[in-house]
A and B are shown apart, each in its own frame.
Chain A
């Protein structure tokens, strides 16, 4: 059996910036640096703001590192994400919203959404040794 130590944070709208700080520290402690760490933290933050705005205002983060991969699950109990939110094209240039999920998918080495009426779990993964070759990237 292989066991990983998982760190969890609950968040509400008031706490997302504090949790973002904790996520940044966690990523640093596991060796993610510079632009890659910035991309990771922004992707996780976009996941949290989605939960806060569209999924009941709260959620749970679980983070762990295993086999050279940093993984972050962002789970909420919201109504699920409509399929149209997963368009490959970004919103029009004049549209102020709707870029969160699009950004998460561009920023992350892998971003998996498990979503339905019972809630959403977004799993963001970053390779700690640098981005994986394109053929190993998991299409989001």
Chain B
């Protein structure tokens, strides 16, 4: 059985939650607890990345419906930036696509240094030798 994993990234008062594995009757309570905690400080937007969800059942879909309601109650916008075929087929079959549109651009604010291309113009930093190394978009002063 695959492991169920959740991770959160914060950016400018918004949260991106990446979910990996099976979203079903077994993992639904964990997902709801986790996301409800993230909703407590009332983020502007909560983005769900469901592109690595390998299986979703009606209970998993129910969790998304509940979380959307909880988000609305707190004035948070719920967005989905990616959905696997396991997720999108259940959403479309149940006629809920209008409520869970997939908007890849919702993940844009979270394109952290590791996802951003290296800057075109670089200036020498203060301190160190002025030399630095860029690895995977991260800058290391030498």
| Interface residues in chain A, defined as those with a beta carbon under 8 Å from any beta carbon in chain B | 13, 16-18, 21, 35, 38, 42, 45-46, 49, 52-53, 90, 93-97, 99-100, 102-103, 106-107
| Interface residues in B, total, Cβ within 8 A | 24
Partner of A45, one of B57, B93, B94: B57
Partner of B94, one of A38, A94, A103: A103
Partner of B1, one of A13, A18, A49, A53: A18
Looking at the assembled complex, report how far the CB atom of B88 sits from the nearest CB atom of chain A, in whole angstroms: 12
Q: Are A46 and B58 in contact (CB under 8 A)?
A: yes
| Interface residues in chain B, defined as those with a beta carbon under 8 Å from any beta carbon in chain A | 1, 22, 24-26, 55, 57-59, 61-63, 65-66, 69, 85-86, 89-90, 93-96, 99
* Interface SS majority for chain B: helix
Partner of A93, one of B1, B24, B90, B96: B96
Contact of A17 with B93 at beta-carbon distance under 8 Å, contacts A49-B57, A96-B62 already known? no
Partner of B93, one of A49, A53, A106: A106
